Structure 1
Amino acid sequence: MTTPDTGPRTGSEILRTTLRRNARAMTGGTVLMGMYQAGETAFPIALGLIVEHTMRDRSPGALGLAIVALAVITATVSFSWRFGMRILQKAGTTEAHRWRVAVAGRGLRPVAVDTDLKAGEVLTVATEDADQTADIIEVVPLLISSLVAVLIAAVTLAMADVRLGLLVIVGTVAILSTLSVLSRRIGAATREQQARVARAGAKVADLIVGLRPLRGFGGNHAAFRSYRKVSEEAERQAIGVAGANGAYAGTALALNAVLATAVTLLAGRLAFQEQISVGELVMAVGLAQFIMEPLKLFSEMPKYVMTARASADRMALVLAAPPVMAPGSERPAAGDGLEADGVRYGALRGLSFQVAAGEFVAIAAYRPGAAADLASVLAVNVPPGAYEGVVRVGGQKAADLSVEAIREHMLVNPSDGEIFAGTLRTNIDPSGTGRAVAEAVEASMLTDVVALHRAGLDHGVRDRGANLSGGQRQRLCLARALAADTDVLVLHDPTTAVDAVTEQLIARNVAELRRGRTTIVLTGSPALLDAADRVLVLDDGVITMEGTHRELLDADEGYRLAVAR
């Protein structure tokens, strides 16, 4: 059976998986909802029979029997609806949760999947689309139970007069044929609307992340205009879909009303001609009014099916997407260092260097883009097939290693690390298994932040570290990287937001804490460069010089101008 873990290939497979997995709940829900619709149908039938028998037998016993019959019907309607919807909604909620977890799991895997969706779009898929796909669990039972109600009404009317039953059947077929055309158009429009809304969500997520730097160079207004354009496109599409839905609902209501009116008029004509009795007339009029509800429900179902199908198709974009790389299965050898041999990617032009096990090396990149490209390559954010040359981790080619093993062995801490809502402790040690949290807090000079609050490490942190300063956020990210205590640690500009005195202390602390462990720092900080065993100068995409910080200061004017503060 296809499951979210095996990655269904199409939206149809996702819907089939959903239906198979919830067959038992849907069967129970269908039976109970069928009982509900049958009970609803029984009301006008019972009223017609009561009128028919009352005209012949006006005894208190007949009245009491009628009251009991109506009470039984009422109880059946009430309890079958309550328990039927409870079963279906529980199954739907559970299924939506499964798909949310499946989509989120794909997004969180070490190897990214090859889609054109941004993070904000994946979020929409994992929330709204998962919920709308799971709606199919309610839609199918309601569709079947509505059909049961219409069939019961048609058969009952046909027993009074065949023409009444045929009118209901022919009218229902005509209504559904008309609405099926409209539902297909709504499905196509809904797919486009969901895509546009997801793109708008991704755009605003990008804006929130980059708002500070955008304000720094005055690009916020242009970014806002770009978002407004995307948002207005989503708005226009949403208005169009709302209009189509309104036309669909209005058409369905009008056609249902026409059918009910036709049944009522035909029944009245037959009663006037004494071809049906008064009780049958009461029953026919009651059924004509009643069938508007199941017909309305029945006619709305194709729209929900198309919406669920559109959402399932979007989920398939994530779940069926191939990985951007096919990682190996080997593990790096513990204790070995890191090597780059002829790496060409972005601003890197044949970069080669070697860091021995236990060595603390700083790389001074004259161009920030080169440092960012190197960090991306080392973090396996760039598949080995997307760059030339070889990166060796623990003495083995990165392409031969599993991504999980690489990241267990080597941590690349980005310059713009995310801060999550929670506490200082959960941001430093998300898994709760770290053994070096206290040492990491001290080495990153985060001790003043911890001491400032009564809760200490359990002090609350808002989403993206909104209640922390830039320097505090950066030190918190550094503490998290140090607490991981990996064999190889790569730090990318870890101290750009802290003052010079604090930076000096951090450089000394990091060197001491990481003594005997392989550490690489991509930085222009004189303090970190001076703390390193060796400095490699990255200029024009290659290593042009190496030595200690002080040796390079004495030997090269360009280096002195680039890093001296």
Structure 2
Amino acid sequence: MTTPDEQRSRRPGSDILRTAIRRNAGAMAWGTVLMGLYQAGETAFPIALGLIVEHTMRERSPGSLAVAVAALAVIITTVSLSWRFGMRILQKANTTEAHRWRVQVAACGLQPVARDTNLKSGEVLTIATEDADQTADIVEVVPMLVSSMVAVLIAAVALGIADLRLGLLVMVGTVAILSVLSVLSKRIGSSTKEQQARVARAGAKVADLITGLRPLHGFGGNHAAFGSYRKVSTEARQQAVTVARVNGAYAGTALALNATLAAAVTLTAGWLAFEGQIGIGELVMAVGLAQFIMEPLRLFSDMPKYVMMARASAERMALVLSAPPTAAPGTQRPDPGTGLEVDCVRYGSLQGVKFQVPAGEFTAITAYQPRAAAELASILAVNVAPESYGGQVRIGGKQLADLSVESVREHVLVNPYDGEIFAGTLRSNIDPSGTSPSVAEAVEASMLTDVVALHRQGLDYEVRDRGANLSGGQRQRLSLARALAADTDVLVLHDPTTAVDAVTEQLVARNVTKLRRGRTTVVFTSSPALLDAADRVLVLDDGVVTAEGTHRELLAADQAYRAAVTR
């Protein structure tokens, strides 16, 4: 929950756009100069052509014609080179800026303390890609806007010199066109923002659907899930159609208005030439400028649309970049080789859980309600802010709220039951940093040896995204191997063997106990093999610890326990 002060301190989209402009001020300045030179050269071509016609008709000299041709060659060369280098500078700056924003959004998502964005991972992915690209477009849009303005001004001045009425017609027509299009550009900005939000929601929905596809198939909920995705996808499609219609109306209106202005300049120039108020050369110049001016006018009139789109995307990026952390972590560090204490924790279904795991003990917790295990694991993983639950969690006698999240992650590892498997190799999944000295021991303890031996590449065997080329049991053992290779002081495992057979489960239980001897280990499980291997078993029922003892003691004395864990 964010406070009013935090809401006011959030960074608006306009600040993000200003940051992008400030970081690329040099590239934008050079790009503006070169693109302005390009537009000036383009404008100079019909002007020079008109002067050549006027001069040639008076002089009728081959030498003058050669000079004129050389002048045109210089103009064409200037136009070509300025466009090439100007666009190269701007597009490089645009691409670099988009990369910066993508990295920054990704960094926010990977912070040890989650941010209060109220967005799903699919939405953050859309912001880190499409919105980052559209926000960075401002680096290219502003120089193009300025250079187009330069071209319009040069054309207006040149026509005004020929006849003041022609210059005024261009200026007044340009102002009228921009006034009409500014209304449509605001509609494009709001429509684009809504479209991006709906596309992001659809992306988040399909990401959740793919992640939970197996269990959905298991209880027949896949059709309902597909229907839910179809609904949000249809909403995104309808909004995309709305945006396309607004964009089409904008483009059509801009083209019609620009063509009307060009026709008006051409007809006015023709009428003035017919009346003898301008010469043939000036008529040629006016007709050429009327045709040429449509392009810079199109660019000039398109720029407000792109500015509004960039602002809409920047506002969505601000949702991530300016979101406050869900918790204010402390600064202390736990002592190495310490135990774990949960003191009267109340959260969700937890109704005052209280227990202590001494340093070096292997404790198993069997929860009769799976939700309670998931909530307690989430608290220990610091995925829940300390102020969001009652009671206290202590590591080595120090309150979790007083410890820095980074130090907690160094000393405590909570391995979820649905740990992600990444595209790469078996080795990179087990030891992402490439620094663990106990990869071989972790592979053996998790019984992943058969997977390694099955492939000629061994640990360098390529794993597809989400472990698509591995079975469920292989993915689970790979996740367990990663947790064991981290070799942390406190290891919390959540249902690490639900997808493996009974024989493998027995071996995993024995190996984990051996590998983790002397270090604090907590396992949420209902597996008889792991429960029997533990030094002590805690029974979590109705949100509290109702019994404790060894697995065999509880089997003999507690009928409910015996019914829950025997199979």
TM-score (norm 1): 0.98
Task: Please state if 1:284 is matched with 2:252.
Answer: no
Shift of 1:303: 0.2
Q: Could you say what secondary structure the match of 2:352 adopts?
A: strand
Query: Deviations along 1:409-432, whole A, 9 cap, x unmatched?
Result: 000000000000000000000111
Match of 1:257?
A: 259
Does the CA-based 8 Å contact 1:362-1:532 persist in structure 2?
A: yes
User: Partners in 2 of 1:235 and 1:557 — Cα distance?
Assistant: 56
User: Partners in 2 of 1:168 and 1:311 — Cα distance?
Assistant: 33
Question: Match of 2:332, as an amino acid?
Answer: E
Shift of 1:559: 1.2
Query: Deviations along 1:362-409, whole A, 9 cap, x unmatched?
Result: 111111111111101111111111111110012100011111111110
Question: Match of 2:326, as an amino acid?
Answer: V
What are the residue-to-residue correspondences of 1:277-426 with 2, within 5 Å? Answer: 277-426=279-428
Q: Could you say what secondary structure the match of 1:491 adopts?
A: strand
User: Partners in 1 of 2:471 and 2:89 — Cα distance?
Assistant: 49
User: Partners in 1 of 2:24 and 2:547 — Cα distance?
Assistant: 65
Match of 1:159?
A: 161
RMSD: 0.8
Match of 2:34?
A: 32
Match of 2:23?
A: 21
Does the CA-based 8 Å contact 1:524-1:563 persist in structure 2?
A: yes
Question: Match of 1:237, as an amino acid?
Answer: Q
User: Partners in 2 of 1:162 and 1:280 — Cα distance?
Assistant: 13
Q: Could you say what secondary structure the match of 1:361 adopts?
A: strand
Query: Deviations along 1:338-367, whole A, 9 cap, x unmatched?
Result: 000101111211100000000011111111
Question: Match of 1:482, as an amino acid?
Answer: L
Match of 1:206?
A: 208
Does the CA-based 8 Å contact 1:8-1:14 persist in structure 2?
A: no
Query: Deviations along 1:405-462, whole A, 9 cap, x unmatched?
Result: 1111000000000000000000000111111100000000000000110110000000
Q: Could you say what secondary structure the match of 1:325 adopts?
A: coil
Match of 1:541?
A: 543
What are the residue-to-residue correspondences of 1:366-515 with 2, within 5 Å? Answer: 366-515=368-517
Question: Relative to structure 2, which stretch is displaced further, 249-258 or 184-193?
Answer: 184-193
Structure 1 outlier segments of 4+, above 6 Å: none
Question: Match of 2:204, as an amino acid?
Answer: A
Equivalent residue for 1:43, pick from 34, 45, 49? 45
Alpha-carbon spacing, 1:8–1:146, altered in 2? closer, same or farther (3 Å): farther
Question: Match of 1:141, as an amino acid?
Answer: P
Query: Deviations along 1:57-76, whole A, 9 cap, x unmatched?
Result: 22221221121111111111
Shift of 1:294: 0.2
User: Partners in 1 of 2:85 and 2:556 — Cα distance?
Assistant: 83
User: Partners in 2 of 1:480 and 1:183 — Cα distance?
Assistant: 51
What are the residue-to-residue correspondences of 1:193-272 with 2, within 5 Å? Answer: 193-272=195-274
Q: Could you say what secondary structure the match of 1:73 adopts?
A: helix
User: Partners in 1 of 2:327 and 2:492 — Cα distance?
Assistant: 22
Shift of 1:548: 1.0
Match of 1:274?
A: 276
Unaligned runs of 5+ in 1: 1-6
User: Partners in 1 of 2:182 and 2:239 — Cα distance?
Assistant: 21
User: Partners in 2 of 1:158 and 1:84 — Cα distance?
Assistant: 29
Query: Deviations along 1:151-180, whole A, 9 cap, x unmatched?
Result: 000000111111110100010011001111
Q: Could you say what secondary structure the match of 1:52 adopts?
A: helix
Q: Could you say what secondary structure the match of 2:53 adopts?
A: helix
Does the CA-based 8 Å contact 2:195-2:236 persist in structure 1?
A: yes
Q: Could you say what secondary structure the match of 2:351 adopts?
A: strand
Shift of 1:556: 1.5
Q: Could you say what secondary structure the match of 1:494 adopts?
A: coil
Match of 2:92?
A: 90
Match of 1:4?
A: none
Task: Please state if 1:102 is matched with 2:104.
Answer: yes
What are the residue-to-residue correspondences of 1:552-563 with 2, within 5 Å? Answer: 552-563=554-565
User: Partners in 1 of 2:368 and 2:190 — Cα distance?
Assistant: 51
User: Partners in 2 of 1:311 and 1:106 — Cα distance?
Assistant: 17
Does the CA-based 8 Å contact 1:120-1:205 persist in structure 2?
A: yes
Q: Could you say what secondary structure the match of 2:429 adopts?
A: helix
Question: Match of 2:222, as an amino acid?
Answer: N
Match of 1:145?
A: 147
Match of 1:81?
A: 83
Question: Relative to structure 2, which stretch is displaced further, 52-61 or 104-113?
Answer: 52-61
User: Partners in 2 of 1:548 and 1:117 — Cα distance?
Assistant: 43
Shift of 1:124: 0.5
Q: Could you say what secondary structure the match of 2:560 adopts?
A: helix
Query: Deviations along 1:464-499, whole A, 9 cap, x unmatched?
Result: 000000000000000000000000000000000000
Question: Relative to structure 2, which stretch is displaced further, 535-544 or 256-265?
Answer: 535-544
Question: Match of 1:44, as an amino acid?
Answer: P
User: Partners in 2 of 1:136 and 1:373 — Cα distance?
Assistant: 44
Question: Match of 1:70, as an amino acid?
Answer: L
Match of 2:193?
A: 191
Question: Match of 1:329, as an amino acid?
Answer: T
Match of 2:172?
A: 170
Match of 2:3?
A: none
User: Partners in 1 of 2:119 and 2:351 — Cα distance?
Assistant: 30
Shift of 1:8: 6.6
Question: Match of 1:395, as an amino acid?
Answer: G
Q: Could you say what secondary structure the match of 1:330 adopts?
A: coil
Question: Match of 2:330, as an amino acid?
Answer: G
Question: Match of 2:125, as an amino acid?
Answer: L
Q: Could you say what secondary structure the match of 2:278 adopts?
A: coil
Query: Deviations along 1:323-342, whole A, 9 cap, x unmatched?
Result: 11111111111121000010
Aligned length: 559
Does the CA-based 8 Å contact 1:429-1:483 persist in structure 2?
A: yes
Question: Match of 1:313, as an amino acid?
Answer: E
Unaligned runs of 5+ in 2: 1-8
Question: Relative to structure 2, which stretch is displaced further, 368-377 or 461-470?
Answer: 368-377
Q: Could you say what secondary structure the match of 1:416 adopts?
A: coil
